[in-house]
A and B are shown apart, each in its own frame.
Chain A
Amino acid sequence: MNKHFVIAQKTGLMFRYDQNLPQDMGTWIQKQLQVASPALGIATSDAKVSEWPQNLQPDLSKRASMWRRYRALEKQRREGKNGQDTQAARQANRHENLMREIDEHKFVQRNVYGADQVKLRLTAFWANHFTIGNTFDTGQMIGHAIDEGILAKLNGSFADLLYGMTTHPGMLTYLDNVWSAGERSEQAKGCARKPNCQAGLNDNLGRELLELHTVSVAAGYTEEDIRAAANVLAGWGIDFQKELPEMLKRTGGTNHWNAYKKRWAEPGSKKVMGQRIYAGRSGLRQLTDFLANHDATIHHISTKLCQHFVSGSPTEDQIEAVKRVWRQSDGSLQLIHTKVFALAIEAPEAKFMWPMTWLFQVVRLSGATYFKGWETINDYDDDLMSTKRVFKELGQSFWSLRQPNGYSDNKAEWMSAEMFERRIRFAQSIYKNGKPLQSVGQIMDRIGAAQQTRALVASAGTSPGDQFITLMCSPELMGLEYV
């Protein structure tokens, strides 16, 4: 492939078939990092690309009230009240009040049609770093966390990103913190006096905050440190289904993103990895700032960034270069990302693509229409599967229930016959049902396909469908090396 596409494959999502190529790739990356970018998509299959409508992007309070409404109607359904016990009513309730499918659809459309491809790749990286699995009511919040917790914070500092994601209601719910009470909190003490009441510490988020989100096990912290971190976190967050007035009364916050229940908080200062953390609501910011600037965090995440964008096995020098920028800039994400991309451009080797990244690239290069418009999301379509189903079949979705360590950047985790079968089948499906606007020949000319790729495609015979599968599953388009 020519340089433009080699870089776009590693750092972005490939240039859409109708997109003009920039003069300078470095400037192209910089511009995307600096400019705010709206979510792009299509309203219907034959509509022009435009911005997603505001009414499909509700804020947290609206999401919470939709969730309460959903639960109330579900209750009526179970009790057979108000005509809610019909299939139609149930479906209407889901369509009107649940955000999970709309959010994933928006994420996917944005990745297919967006002009901010580098930013979207970064968003995916960080959404994976701060994994929120789809469990209980988090499905209502994951999309919000990705857009407002990550994409909107890509130009700030890592410390801001970390604090925002640690306190996001999606994270606080996924890792059980909304139910955790400090060991000596008023809530725990009060509960101890009552029968059938239980309240106390749950260390799930405290543990993953240290292990996955910041310093990693290599830092050698103890169970005491985890417990102390959990005690700092105790009190943060509240059940998403709590009525708003009650929530406000009990937390003193203004929305679910800053809800802090004093009654559940652990009194007194704590010590995490030698650092004294003061009591009260500001203790958490103190803790996440301490962790964000810890050398072990800088090493852990610099390594991860290099593995994701630069090379499967990055050199010490590459990691060190990112760490240096991180320290010098006090964790400025924009400068860190710039350095990572510079290294990615310099590094000669191909980078194996995650299934979702590969799929977005195939759709963009070929100009296929593989996903429905936002207005037709709930309509049955003979050709197009629901977005939810596509990514379930592909085996990778930010809206799946999965473990908090997220998807691996280790190529070996993605090397299996079934995973490869999916690539074949999706290439076939995109060709047949997505009806690409570009022919295989046009795509190969545009990207400057390697001689080996052309030879491989030629050996597949004359069927345009077979040629399409062969091109998209060639080493070059999968980010694998040739023999």
Chain B
Amino acid sequence: MSKLTVGRRHVLKAGAASLFLAGMPITGFTKTKPPGTISVIILEGGMDGLAVIPPIGDPDLMKIRRAVTPASYLPLNEFFGLHPSLKFYAQLMANGHASAVHATAFPYTKRSHFEGQNLIEGGGLSPFSEKTGWLGRALDLSDVAGRSLSLDMPLILRGHHENDNFYPASIRGSRRPNAQLLNIIAMGHQMDAAQLFTKVARKSEANVQVPRDPASLAKYAGRAMAQAEGPVASVIRVGGFDSHASQTEDGDTDAGQLAQQLTVVDDVIAGYRRGLGDAWDDAIILTLTEFGRTVAVNGTKGTDHGYASVGLLAGGALSGSGVIADWPGLSKKDQFEKRDLMATIDYRSVCAACVEKSLGLDHDVIAKEIFYQPDLPRIYDHLFT
């Protein structure tokens, strides 16, 4: 079934190309849908990758971070384990539908949340250098829309005029806004604001009611992306990863703040799976976090801002499971600035591979026009073949 769907899309794509070459644009022709969908879960606060996918084969791990390493990790192979909160994700791994990339980071080493968050969403060469986001630019190149499940429009999606957001309101004394009135108000506004009011008008006609917990929003997003005219990308934010204190509970390293937030992430991935239905086969989901955390545990049973972390990938577009890493080691001499996990894989390469897979853009175009880094390494084959 899945192969048939993909096949049909390829045919459509070829058809569109030949029409274009023949110089015969047909008005109203449905634009080519890209080969898959891409969803980003932004993990705000800096996720401790070493606790999520603990490198149990590294002899230094338990010496340095027993207090924050989950005792009942699930062994993935001889070297890596998985946090027990990621139950659904573990099943996906068993079925070849999830992977992780370890010791990876955006090239940012200054450990500020806000610079880091700006950089991983903007995707430029330095923090605050971009007014649009890497996913927004990718969608603009493909001329397809994305949707954020949030009240705001996150930087990562900015850059394509058709992108929109979704976060249902519940306000006493207000009914569904009248679309006609919204269009009138839109006419009084300048371009950018007018576009937004027009989108509100469109949305008010659809009248969707969805609970606002991240898992329900993910399910809704999956369902929307599964539709023929639906968005091709979605973004969900999960906060609470800034685990400076009480990262694990007293006497129970499987529980605590991080474990709780990972359960949310697991539910979000499960929500996507349910919502996407058959479209799961062409879907790719990836996490994004501004930095990892210190190798050592701090004085309040937490970890401070660090450098490299882990990226979680899920979706039917993956063709097998694994932990992809060029392991740098945890000993003092192997650490970045004698405190953090060193990054050996540029996470922009992971994002680029996911864009290549889902939107069908060429790696060189992605590197040059989305990340402004023409020599960005291509690691597509490590993830998708």
Asked if A57 lies at the interface with its beta carbon under 8 angstroms from chain B, I say: no
Give me the 10 closest cross-chain CB pairs, A-B, nearest first. Answer: A200-B299, A433-B173, A429-B173, A416-B153, A456-B188, A417-B199, A425-B174, A432-B173, A395-B151, A429-B174
**Candidate in A401, A421, A466 with the most chain B CB atoms within 10 angstroms:** A421
In the assembled complex, the CB of B248 is this many whole angstroms from the nearest CB of chain A, namely 11
| B131 and A412 contact, CB distance less than 8 A | yes
Contact A424 B189, CB 8 Å, known A181-B299, A418-B167: no
Q: What residues on A are CB-neighbors of B204 within 8 Å?
A: 421
20 contacts between A and B (CB under 8 A): A179-B299, A181-B299, A198-B300, A200-B300, A207-B305, A393-B170, A395-B152, A405-B113, A412-B153, A417-B164, A418-B152, A421-B169, A421-B203, A422-B171, A426-B174, A434-B173, A461-B181, A474-B188, A475-B189, A483-B190
In the assembled complex, the CB of A317 is this many whole angstroms from the nearest CB of chain B, namely 22
| B188 and A420 contact, CB distance less than 8 A | no
Contact of A415 among B67, B148, B192, B301 (CB under 8 A): B192
| A383 and B300 contact, CB distance less than 8 A | no
Contact A176 B175, CB 8 Å, known A395-B151, A422-B169: no
Interchain CA distance A460-B183 in the complex, whole Å:
10
Q: What residues on B are CB-neighbors of A483 within 8 Å?
A: 188-190
| B173 and A412 contact, CB distance less than 8 A | no
Label chain B's interface by main secondary structure: loop
The contact string, 1 if C-beta is below 8 Å from chain A, for chain B 188-208, is 111011001101100110000
Residues B43-81 near A (CB distance < 8 A)? 44-45, 67
Interchain CA distance A470-B181 in the complex, whole Å:
8
- Residues of A at under 8 Å CB distance from B? 176, 179-181, 183, 188, 196, 198-204, 207, 211-212, 217, 223, 383-385, 393, 395, 401, 403-405, 412-422, 424-426, 428-430, 432-434, 452-453, 455-456, 459-461, 466, 469-470, 473-475, 478, 480-483
| A198 and B67 contact, CB distance less than 8 A | yes
In the assembled complex, the CB of B200 is this many whole angstroms from the nearest CB of chain A, namely 5
Nearest opposing residue in chain B for A198, CB measure: B301
| A203 and B196 contact, CB distance less than 8 A | no
Contact A421 B177, CB 8 Å, known A202-B299, A202-B304, A393-B171: yes
Contact A211 B299, CB 8 Å, known A203-B304, A417-B200: no
Asked if B104 lies at the interface with its beta carbon under 8 angstroms from chain A, I say: no
Asked if B182 lies at the interface with its beta carbon under 8 angstroms from chain A, I say: yes
**Candidate in A412, A430, A453 with the most chain B CB atoms within 10 angstroms:** A412
Asked if B114 lies at the interface with its beta carbon under 8 angstroms from chain A, I say: yes
| B178 and A475 contact, CB distance less than 8 A | no
In the assembled complex, the CB of B124 is this many whole angstroms from the nearest CB of chain A, namely 15
Label chain A's interface by main secondary structure: helix
Asked if B337 lies at the interface with its beta carbon under 8 angstroms from chain A, I say: yes
| A424 and B177 contact, CB distance less than 8 A | yes
In the assembled complex, the CB of A346 is this many whole angstroms from the nearest CB of chain B, namely 23
| A176 and B177 contact, CB distance less than 8 A | no
Contact of B152 among A383, A413, A455 (CB under 8 A): A413
Asked if B158 lies at the interface with its beta carbon under 8 angstroms from chain A, I say: yes
Interchain CA distance A461-B185 in the complex, whole Å:
12
| B172 and A403 contact, CB distance less than 8 A | no
| A433 and B152 contact, CB distance less than 8 A | no
Contact of B171 among A180, A204, A385 (CB under 8 A): A385
Interface Cβ pair total, 8 Å cutoff: 184
Asked if B184 lies at the interface with its beta carbon under 8 angstroms from chain A, I say: yes
**Candidate in A417, A424, A426, A461 with the most chain B CB atoms within 10 angstroms:** A417
Asked if B166 lies at the interface with its beta carbon under 8 angstroms from chain A, I say: yes
Q: What residues on A are CB-neighbors of B31 within 8 Å?
A: none
Q: What residues on A are CB-neighbors of B301 within 8 Å?
A: 198
Q: What residues on B are CB-neighbors of A395 within 8 Å?
A: 151-152
Nearest opposing residue in chain B for A390, CB measure: B171
Contact A415 B153, CB 8 Å, known A198-B67, A424-B200: yes
Q: What residues on B are CB-neighbors of A453 within 8 Å?
A: 188
**Known pairs A401-B239, A416-B153 / 12 extra A-B pairs, C-beta < 8 Å:** A188-B299, A196-B250, A198-B300, A207-B305, A416-B164, A416-B165, A417-B199, A417-B203, A418-B166, A418-B167, A421-B203, A478-B193
| A201 and B298 contact, CB distance less than 8 A | yes
Contact of A429 among B166, B172, B184, B337 (CB under 8 A): B172
In the assembled complex, the CB of B131 is this many whole angstroms from the nearest CB of chain A, namely 7
Q: What residues on A are CB-neighbors of B175 within 8 Å?
A: 428
Nearest opposing residue in chain B for A185, CB measure: B299
| B244 and A202 contact, CB distance less than 8 A | yes
Contact of B196 among A405, A415, A466, A481 (CB under 8 A): A415
| A428 and B177 contact, CB distance less than 8 A | yes
Q: What residues on A are CB-neighbors of B250 within 8 Å?
A: 196
Contact A419 B188, CB 8 Å, known A223-B111, A405-B113, A428-B177: no
In the assembled complex, the CB of B149 is this many whole angstroms from the nearest CB of chain A, namely 10
Interchain CA distance A311-B304 in the complex, whole Å:
36
Contact of A176 among B44, B167, B245 (CB under 8 A): B245
In the assembled complex, the CB of B44 is this many whole angstroms from the nearest CB of chain A, namely 7
The contact string, 1 if C-beta is below 8 Å from chain A, for chain B 331-348, is 000000101000000000
Interchain CA distance A204-B193 in the complex, whole Å:
38
Nearest opposing residue in chain B for A422, CB measure: B169
Asked if B115 lies at the interface with its beta carbon under 8 angstroms from chain A, I say: yes
Interchain CA distance A433-B175 in the complex, whole Å:
12
Interchain CA distance A418-B148 in the complex, whole Å:
10
In the assembled complex, the CB of A367 is this many whole angstroms from the nearest CB of chain B, namely 17
Contact of B298 among A202, A207, A425 (CB under 8 A): A202
In the assembled complex, the CB of A480 is this many whole angstroms from the nearest CB of chain B, namely 6
Q: What residues on A are CB-neighbors of B299 within 8 Å?
A: 179-181, 183, 188, 198-202
